[in-house]
Amino acid sequence: MNADRWLEDARASYDTVAVSYADQVRGSLAGAPYLRAALALFADLARAAGGGPVADVGCGPGHVTAHLRELGVDAFGIDLSSAMIDVARRDHPQLRFEIGSMTDLDLADASVTGLLAFWSLIHVPDEAVPTVFGHFRRVLRPGGPLLLGFHVGDGSQLKTQGYGGHPMNVHVHRRRPDQVTAWLRDAGFTVEAHMVITPEESVPGAVLFARRHD
């Protein structure tokens, strides 16, 4: 798959659905106790690693970024979609949001204490994941925690319609935790834990905790 093509498709799709997506996920963490617990643990790990800035990569409308700030973390958001960033800045004007791509993170080496990618890897094709994880490791400080959330399963599905019935053109990739773990180890991370959420649903989710090692 052409790298520029899938990135452009993702950017255009989320520009289209940004407002509807924000309306759908606003307040969604209230009904997600296991995700809230994972975020609280991540916040504790970031503080234990010395505190400092935490990057929410693929932040969308910023609801998770804002939740982390409520937990006392110095979180900021990055997203490929300029429309998503506009919505995030509108809804959370006190927070910092930037346009950027996880395939080429415009952050200095070892500049963040923690990094979160919550269901933002699902449109990244397999061949691009090692590059993304390489950037994650580069920008994280040694010992810094990484939290990933993703769809569990095998294969990919083309999504042509999304939030609010708007047209989209993105592939949604499902992955097994052991595959994600292998990619992370190759990139220089130590995987510490993972949890499968709603395992009986047709598309379960997983959260995975890792840490950059020297």
DSSP symbol at 121: S
For the ranges 69-78, 96-105, 158-167, 198-207, which has the lowest average pLDDT? 158-167
Confidence of residue 3 (pLDDT cuts 50, 70, 90): low
Q: Which residue has the higher pLDDT, 177 or 213?
A: 177
3-state secondary structure (DSSP) of residue 79: strand
Convert the pLDDT of each residue in 57-112 to its tens digit: 999 999 999 999 999 999 999 999 999 999 999 999 999 999 999 999 999 999 99
Measured CA to CA in angstroms, residue 57 lies from 117, 126, 199 at distances of 5, 18, 25
Report the number of distinct structural domains present in the chain: 1
Reported pTM: 0.93
Domain extent at residue 20: 3-212
Q: Which residue has the higher pLDDT, 3 or 205?
A: 205
CA angle, residues 59, 92, 51, in degrees to nearest 5:
65
At 149, which CATH number? 3.40.50.150
